[in-house]
Amino acid sequence: MGSSIEINDTLKLKRGAGFPPDVREGGEYSFALPGRRLFHLKPVRVFLVEEIEGKWNFIGQALVLEQTIDAERDETRGRFVVTALYTKEYAALVNRHESPPGKGL
């Protein structure tokens, strides 16, 4: 018997299900995701991605301030602060080159 924990450098959230409705640089937000995940913690950045109908939209970078892995609920919760927001032009490049194949906007 083993444990299953996914290690992530990308915080991917859906609008209305964790992605902030009014995301802004310097804003601090909470998240909750199904599954057991381990994110890089501050001072290491994570990519901030909005999932839109199964597609990835890289919008910037964030620092994960805290995280809790709940084994009974099989859920990961935490808080993050947005440290950078990409311009539309830069986001288009990142979406093309960093998204999984077929997933970039």
User: Counting every residue, how long is the chain?
Assistant: 105
pLDDT of residue 69: 93
Put simply, whether the predicted model's pTM sits higher than 0.85 gets the answer: yes
d(CA 103, CA 54): 7
Q: Is the pLDDT of residue 90 over 80?
A: yes
Which among 41, 30, 45 has a CA at the least distance from the CA of 77? Answer: 30
pLDDT band at 70 (very low <50, low <70, confident <90, very high): very high
Long-range contacts at 89-92 (CB < 8 A, ≥ 24 apart): 91/57, 91/58, 91/59
pLDDT of residue 1: 61
Structural domains in the chain plus CATH codes? 6-98 (2.40.240.20)
